[in-house]
Structure 1
Amino acid sequence: MLISRRGGLLAAVSGAAALVAGSASAETLADAIALAYQTNPTLQAQRATLRQLDESWVQARAGYRPTLTATAQGNYEQTRINGRTTLADTNGDGVKEVVSNAITETNSATGALTFSQPIWTGGRVGAAVSAAEADILAGRENLRRTEATVLGTVIQAYVDVRRDQEALHIRENNVAVLTRQLEESKARFDVGEITRTDVAQSEARLAAAQAQLQSSQAQLAISRAAYAAVVGQNPGDLAPEPSLASLLPNDPDAAFDLAEKNNPQIRAAEYAEQASRARLASARAERMPTVSVQAKMAWVGAGDPFDTDRMYRDVTGAAAVTVPLFNGGLTTSRVRAAIERNNADRLSVESAKRSVLQNLTNAWSTLLSTRANISSTDVQVKAARIAAEGTRQEQQVGLRTTIDVLNAEQELRSAELSQVTARHDEYIAAANLLSQMGRLEAAYLVPNAPRYDPKANFGKLRITWGWTPWEEPIAIVDGVLTPKTKELPREQPPAAAK
């Protein structure tokens, strides 16, 4: 745990941060994004969730693969006949004797290996595999959405710290200026140039400025803590954030086109619809027959005394065709439920598109507004600075009063703070627009940083323990009547420079 007395900051620093190349503090926004991309726990957890989801494909494909089971069984049977005379072999020599209250004991032992291979499942497994593939693709989009959220939080935290550092600097300058103004007012009061009222006005403004300075210090500590929470280490001397203009389109129509193709919320909804369509096919496949082959080898004999020479071997082979005839309407009900689930997912796609359209419109309008605010505050600061300097000079010749000087200084500081806030808001609006367009990713923001490839883990699962070479033709036959999952095209991020 690191405790900063100056900033009042208490933050946990992840040990994994030491593995990331770079200086001890993230000096630039690219450094902060790269560090969070590698170590942020929310992003890491979502990647683990996706790797877990990858296993659903393997589990679905297991329906094409054979099963081999081993069983062992021992039986003991005792038959007692009371009050009767009967013939029985009492000593195992094969000669039956006359006995009363006869007791007959038998035992047996069985060991068996059973091999079963599905040949055709009526499309059940094929549909399950397609649904798993669609779920995985939706999971990748959810990972992209989580990445955009985390990186948006990183950008927010970065520019918040930068804004609050500049605001603190402005507040410190304000206190310094008002301190000199108070000293000057006291000196002029001592020689009788101004009244006690002028001194009191200067004291009041200085006290208010000192309170605002303390508030700025507290706000900076809060922003630093938020930065440490999302990035993984305390902020250092942060460099100005780079422009995002190269990633932004020139008109809203282009932004809408990119969002419809790249937005992870829309793409995840479309993959969810494909998954429910495959599950509908799986429900309908429950009405289809299945074909499988089975081979069994068993060893049967007496368990006591155990003698392998007296055991016999039984080998059987069978081909089975199973046709469902009636199950009380269960399959029909599942089909109806799957149809409505698919209808709901299809409507969710339209809902996602409308939501993204609204969010993108808001982000675009906010960006235009904040850009206009930057131009206005730049003019405001320039004019306020000239006005403040002129007011101080006019006071020296008796044309302005102390309150006029104090008001001019207050307007200048207010304009400077507005300018800092406008630049901060413009950058956040640009980041929000990139998020809706599907471009708020490390691949776009830090192209040279190492990337996490969600396809790499899935590629390792193509051939794992349990894979058999004959499952591929079985999969082709079984999947003829099932819908295939289609990966949607999207804009590819820029390639990293080598």
Structure 2
Amino acid sequence: MAVAAHLRVCILACGILSGAAQAQDLLQTWNQALAREPQFGAAQAARQADQERIPQSRAQLLPQITATGTAELQERRQTSRLSTRHSSDRALWSLSLSQPIYNRSAWAQYERAQLLAQGADVQLALERQALMLRVSQGYFDILAAQDALATLKAEQAAIDEQLRAADQNFQLGGTTITDTYEARSRLDLTRAKVLQAENTLQVAQDKLAALTLERPAKLARLRNPLRLPAPQPSRLQDWLDQSSQSGLSVALADLNSRAVQEQLNSTQAQHQPTLALKAQTGSGSDQTLFGQSGGGPRSLNSAIGLELSIPIFRGGETSSQVREQTSRLQEARYQLQLAQQQAIQQTRQYFSGVTSGLSRVQILEAAEKSSLDSVKANKLAYEIGVRVNIDVLNAQQQLYETQRNLSQARYDVLMNSLRLKAASGTLDESDLRAVNQLLEPSANANGS
């Protein structure tokens, strides 16, 4: 039958677009983006920078050692003639040690730095998940655009054949010129859609190339037939519990809230006294270390003791900072509540997207089969004069539109599955590997 031939043309076009040779799969695309994508590279650098907060804040709790050396030449002159009256030289060195013993503010800053470093780790994990989603979306956008283009070209070929049949029937006097006009109109519209589909494919390839810094050539396609997996666990409540408690966005908001609490503790501690051990040693050529005239031979002067510092009044600055950090803490807690609500909302959305999407795929698969039967029946009825040309064109349009919707529905299910994992904080490379197993076996073997 002609319809079967058109479907073979569609399948052949898909094969040409994807390539029969070594096709690049999802894992290979992911590895390219992981090594090259600028936004994720910037996130890695930011994470490394944030890790340095820990040694910087810890340094405020460790000994501080300072060495000082001074060499001076002193001259005394009379003011009347500026003649030299007396000159002398002087050399001085000293070594000082300061070890904090009690500094609650510095300790709170150290605790804050640890929380911020943990937050940087979580932020990097979030960026990694976001990159996985961008790569997967870009990959499937190309496949969807290729499917749409292939079905449109198959539809164009089918309409072109129907146009030739209408012309032939008109020449034989079996139909009116109306059938020819209808077929030609559909053909022109389909040609316009083909041009638009080619542009859509170009844009999708450009978006993926921006992630991998390499233009994609041949991409491995989904298996046919394909059985899409259902979400595991199958209960929505299990996903909600996971996302509200362990979602990465929630974890990051929680760490930020705790970091602001430590900043408030540090600010409040500025009202408290600090205690430090101070030690100093040194020598001067003409003076003792502590500024008194020695007058005798060079000597080594040392001192050790405790320094207690009690803040009394700083013009109200500390009290203002405490009020500021109290408001910052309230803001951070609201942000935590918002992150939990968003995680729950996204989990519901993506779980529903997977479950309803699976049902939609099943319905569209059935619709594709019935649409194919409709095309066959209408073509046969047209050949015997029971149906008119417009009936055949409508049946063909419905078939190819159903195929495009089915293709897009499958990709939507896969993307919603990955987004559901991301909302719950569990998306990792093993999930991409599982999706990669749904690709054609030849490409899959090369990619994994």
Normalised to the residue count of structure 1, the TM-score between the two structures is 0.75
In the TM superposition, what is the alpha-carbon distance from 1:26 to its structure 2 partner?
A: 6.5
Partner of 1:475: none
Q: Any conservation in 2 of the 1:163–1:420 contact (CA below 8 Å)? A: yes
In the TM superposition, what is the alpha-carbon distance from 1:76 to its structure 2 partner?
A: 4.0
Q: State how 1:90-105 maps to structure 2 within 5 Å.
A: 103-105=84-86
Q: Any conservation in 2 of the 1:284–1:331 contact (CA below 8 Å)? A: yes
- Determine which of 318, 322, 325 is the counterpart of 2:309: 322
- Determine which of 107, 123, 128 is the counterpart of 2:104: 123
Cα distance change of structure 1 residues 40 and 248 upon mapping to structure 2, 3 Å threshold:
farther
Does residue 38 in structure 1 map to residue 35 in structure 2?
yes
Partner of 2:215: 234
What do residues 401-458 of structure 1 show as CA deviations (whole Å, max 9, x unaligned)? 11221111111112112211222222222222122111223254349x9xxxxxxxxx
In the TM superposition, what is the alpha-carbon distance from 1:367 to its structure 2 partner?
A: 2.7
What do residues 6-64 of structure 1 show as CA deviations (whole Å, max 9, x unaligned)? xxxxxxxxxxxxxxxxxx98622222223322332211211110110010000011012
In the TM superposition, what is the alpha-carbon distance from 1:389 to its structure 2 partner?
A: 0.5
Deviates more, 1:350-359 or 1:235-244: 235-244
Cα distance change of structure 1 residues 193 and 80 upon mapping to structure 2, 3 Å threshold:
same
Deviates more, 1:153-162 or 1:420-429: 420-429
Q: State how 1:47-126 maps to structure 2 within 5 Å.
A: 47-81=44-78, 103-126=84-107
Does residue 334 in structure 1 map to residue 321 in structure 2?
yes
What do residues 461-485 of structure 1 show as CA deviations (whole Å, max 9, x unaligned)? xxxxxxxxxxxxxxxxxxxxxxxxx
The answer for unaligned runs of 5 or more in structure 2 is 1-20, 288-295, 437-448
Q: State how 1:315-464 maps to structure 2 within 5 Å.
A: 315-446=302-433
In the TM superposition, what is the alpha-carbon distance from 1:324 to its structure 2 partner?
A: 2.0
Does residue 256 in structure 1 map to residue 240 in structure 2?
yes
Deviates more, 1:31-40 or 1:260-269: 31-40
Higher helix share: 2
Q: Any conservation in 2 of the 1:70–1:111 contact (CA below 8 Å)? A: no
**Which of structure 1's runs of 4+ aligned residues deviate more than 4 A?**
100-103, 241-244, 309-312
The answer for unaligned runs of 5 or more in structure 1 is 1-23, 84-99, 304-308, 450-498
Deviates more, 1:368-377 or 1:273-282: 368-377
In the TM superposition, what is the alpha-carbon distance from 1:216 to its structure 2 partner?
A: 1.1
Q: Any conservation in 2 of the 1:34–1:442 contact (CA below 8 Å)? A: no
In the TM superposition, what is the alpha-carbon distance from 1:310 to its structure 2 partner?
A: 6.4
> Structure 1 vs Structure 2: percent identity of aligned residues?
21
Q: Any conservation in 1 of the 2:418–2:431 contact (CA below 8 Å)? A: no
In the TM superposition, what is the alpha-carbon distance from 1:82 to its structure 2 partner?
A: 5.6
In the TM superposition, what is the alpha-carbon distance from 1:312 to its structure 2 partner?
A: 4.2
Counterpart CA distance in 2 for 1:50 and 1:243 is 40
- Opposite residue 192 of structure 1, the aligned amino acid is G
What RMSD, in angstroms, separates the aligned Cα atoms of the two structures? Answer: 2.7
Partner of 2:4: none
Q: Any conservation in 1 of the 2:67–2:96 contact (CA below 8 Å)? A: no
Counterpart CA distance in 1 for 2:79 and 2:145 is 99
- Opposite residue 116 of structure 1, the aligned amino acid is L
Partner of 1:457: none
Deviates more, 1:46-55 or 1:355-364: 355-364
In the TM superposition, what is the alpha-carbon distance from 1:80 to its structure 2 partner?
A: 3.8
In the TM superposition, what is the alpha-carbon distance from 1:72 to its structure 2 partner?
A: 2.6
Partner of 1:283: 267
In the TM superposition, what is the alpha-carbon distance from 1:81 to its structure 2 partner?
A: 4.2
Q: State how 1:288-303 maps to structure 2 within 5 Å.
A: 288-301=272-285
Q: 3-state SS of the aligned residue for 1:326?
A: coil
Q: Any conservation in 2 of the 1:291–1:321 contact (CA below 8 Å)? A: yes
Counterpart CA distance in 1 for 2:357 and 2:341 is 24
Q: 3-state SS of the aligned residue for 1:192?
A: coil
Counterpart CA distance in 2 for 1:160 and 1:103 is 89
Deviates more, 1:49-58 or 1:333-342: 333-342
Partner of 1:87: none
Q: How many residues align?
A: 404
Cα distance change of structure 1 residues 101 and 377 upon mapping to structure 2, 3 Å threshold:
closer
Normalised to the residue count of structure 2, the TM-score between the two structures is 0.83
In the TM superposition, what is the alpha-carbon distance from 1:353 to its structure 2 partner?
A: 0.7
Q: Any conservation in 2 of the 1:366–1:429 contact (CA below 8 Å)? A: yes
Cα distance change of structure 1 residues 243 and 60 upon mapping to structure 2, 3 Å threshold:
farther
Cα distance change of structure 1 residues 402 and 245 upon mapping to structure 2, 3 Å threshold:
closer
Cα distance change of structure 1 residues 243 and 118 upon mapping to structure 2, 3 Å threshold:
farther
Cα distance change of structure 1 residues 111 and 243 upon mapping to structure 2, 3 Å threshold:
farther
Does residue 271 in structure 1 map to residue 255 in structure 2?
yes
Deviates more, 1:334-343 or 1:125-134: 334-343
Cα distance change of structure 1 residues 30 and 181 upon mapping to structure 2, 3 Å threshold:
same
What do residues 269-292 of structure 1 show as CA deviations (whole Å, max 9, x unaligned)? 111111111112211222222222
Q: Any conservation in 2 of the 1:33–1:442 contact (CA below 8 Å)? A: no
Q: 3-state SS of the aligned residue for 1:327?
A: coil
Cα distance change of structure 1 residues 121 and 247 upon mapping to structure 2, 3 Å threshold:
farther
Partner of 1:491: none
Partner of 1:469: none
Counterpart CA distance in 2 for 1:29 and 1:149 is 15
In the TM superposition, what is the alpha-carbon distance from 1:175 to its structure 2 partner?
A: 1.4
Q: Any conservation in 1 of the 2:93–2:283 contact (CA below 8 Å)? A: yes
Cα distance change of structure 1 residues 26 and 173 upon mapping to structure 2, 3 Å threshold:
closer
Q: 3-state SS of the aligned residue for 1:180?
A: helix
Deviates more, 1:279-288 or 1:66-75: 66-75
Q: Any conservation in 1 of the 2:26–2:139 contact (CA below 8 Å)? A: yes
Counterpart CA distance in 2 for 1:115 and 1:446 is 59
Does residue 134 in structure 1 map to residue 107 in structure 2?
no
- Opposite residue 413 of structure 1, the aligned amino acid is Y
Q: Any conservation in 2 of the 1:244–1:430 contact (CA below 8 Å)? A: no
- Opposite residue 237 of structure 1, the aligned amino acid is L
Counterpart CA distance in 2 for 1:433 and 1:279 is 34
Deviates more, 1:164-173 or 1:418-427: 418-427
Cα distance change of structure 1 residues 247 and 419 upon mapping to structure 2, 3 Å threshold:
closer
- Determine which of 192, 216, 235 is the counterpart of 2:197: 216
- Determine which of 142, 149, 156 is the counterpart of 1:175: 156
Counterpart CA distance in 1 for 2:37 and 2:246 is 23
Q: 3-state SS of the aligned residue for 1:194?
A: coil
Counterpart CA distance in 1 for 2:97 and 2:204 is 62
What do residues 189-223 of structure 1 show as CA deviations (whole Å, max 9, x unaligned)? 22222222222222221121111111111111111
